[in-house]
Amino acid sequence: MRIGVLTGGGDCPGLNAVIRAVVKTAIRDYGMEVWGIKNGYSGLVEDEIIPLGMESVVGILPRGGTILGTTNRDSPFRYQVVTNGQVAYVDKSKQAMEVIRKRGLDALIIIGGDGSLNIAQKFYDLGINVIGVPKTIDNDISGTDMTFGFDTAMATATEAIDKLHTTAESHHRIMILEVMGRDAGWIAIHSGIAGGADVILIPEIPFTFEKISAKIQERVARGRNFSIVVVAEGAAPMGGGQVTAGVNEGNIFNPVKLGGIGQYVQEKITTCTGQETRVTVLGHLQRGGSPTPFDRLLATRYGSAAVHALARGEQDVMTSLHGQDVITIPLMEGIKQQKQVPPQGELVRTAKALGISFGD
Ligand code: F6P
């Protein structure tokens, strides 16, 4: 059997560990051939495909990023073409299918988030067997208990909170840390609890500045003249109604116009509390660097499990962490909805029991 492996969408720590496990398991256990598709789905359209032998994966286990490269906007079904500076989107799926046939690929292992896995499903519908491996630092794929990359991002964010703590305490300041998480607050809530934050703002729980200020004033009254606020990039105030003019577009809250939610929260908290505040946007530091041991292990298990699934003749499935076990589940089942932090769940309750405010 000849398999193609592809990394799609935003990168995250552990991608190389999956590629390594796929190559080793396929060659050692089954004598399969593995081909690497470069730069996400665009490699399928442009026929940028390289053989992956045992030598190609030497030393990549601890390396961040992906040796194959990746892109965000490369769906063959809506492919971006730029001619004389003009951008157009065309369906290049037939071209990609020709490449798959020409290269003799029997199946594709797609390592990606919900965007890339949805595209994988479209290839399955066209007759190509696909196995999905869920990745994202955001941990928001419902079909698995955990995506790889999340643990590393959480560790990076927690380390940042630890560092902000010492300077916040010295200067009696409110430190705001903006972390990633467009639609789900997993990184914010996990790192916020692990780092001992005072306020955590997540997309799942709309907040008010009155509640945030009350928490900060309560700390001041107890002699704590500093506070740590962790805010996920997708968090938004209740109703979006308290946002200053020019930021509400219709009913849609657009913090990007103000340079991000972190900066917006900083401006409002400064006004509400009169305390000195600073904001740090952690950004892509969360996506880079060496994966934690947990992520290396999970990524390796996913990579091996994807190949074993192919060898068993499974089709259109996704690897998934279920409790302690790595299993496979139907691909569409795994990505049909986004996994968000339950506002009444155990994590939020634990944080609240510790006195952490969600601004609600
Ligand atoms: O999907 C992961 C993610 O980290 C989001 O949380 C974030 O909004 C996005 O990627 C950033 O992507 P880009 O690299 O395109 O700026």
Reported pTM: 0.93
Fill in the amino acid letter for 119: I
How much is the mean pLDDT over the chain? Answer: 94
Whether residue 113 is annotated as binding a ligand: the answer is yes
Q: How far is the CA of 219 from the centre of ligand 1 (A)?
A: 33
Cβ contact 147:136 at 8 Å: yes
Cβ contact 303:19 at 8 Å: yes
What per-residue confidence (pLDDT) applies to 74?
Answer: 85
DSSP string, 167-192: HHHHHT-EEEEEE--SS--HHHHHHH
Q: Which of 63-77, 241-255, 302-316 has the lowest mean pLDDT?
A: 241-255
248 pLDDT higher than 80: no
The complex scores an ipTM of: 0.94
| Coil, helix or strand at residue 175 | strand
Whether residue 114 is annotated as binding a ligand: the answer is yes
Cβ contact 166:121 at 8 Å: no
Phi (first) and psi of residue 49, to 5 degrees: -135, 130
Q: What is the mean pLDDT of residues 115-129?
A: 97
137 close to ligand 1 (CB < 6 Angstrom): yes
Output Rg (C-alpha) for the chain, integer angstroms: 22
Sign of the Cα torsion 307, 312, 313, 317 reads negative
215 pLDDT higher than 60: yes
Which domains, ranges and CATH numbers included, belong to the chain? 2-148+291-323 (3.40.50.450), 151-287+342-353 (3.40.50.460)
Nearest atom within ligand 1 for CA of residue 137: 2
Residue 147 tokens, joined: 């995506």
260 pLDDT higher than 90: no
What per-residue confidence (pLDDT) applies to 117?
Answer: 97
47 pLDDT higher than 90: yes
For the annotated catalytic residues, the residue numbers are 138
pLDDT cut 70: percent of the chain above it = 94
What is the C-alpha separation between 53 and 6, in angstroms, rounded?
A: 15
| Coil, helix or strand at residue 316 | coil
What per-residue confidence (pLDDT) applies to 251?
Answer: 55
Q: How far is the CA of 112 from the centre of ligand 1 (A)?
A: 13
What per-residue confidence (pLDDT) applies to 134?
Answer: 97
What per-residue confidence (pLDDT) applies to 239?
Answer: 80
DSSP string, 108-148: EEEEE-HHHHHHHHHHHHTT-EEEEEEB-TT--BTTSS--B
What per-residue confidence (pLDDT) applies to 243?
Answer: 42
What per-residue confidence (pLDDT) applies to 351?
Answer: 98
Structural element, H or E, at residue 90: strand 86-90
Residue pLDDT, tens place only, 148-162: 999 999 999 999 999
What per-residue confidence (pLDDT) applies to 250?
Answer: 55
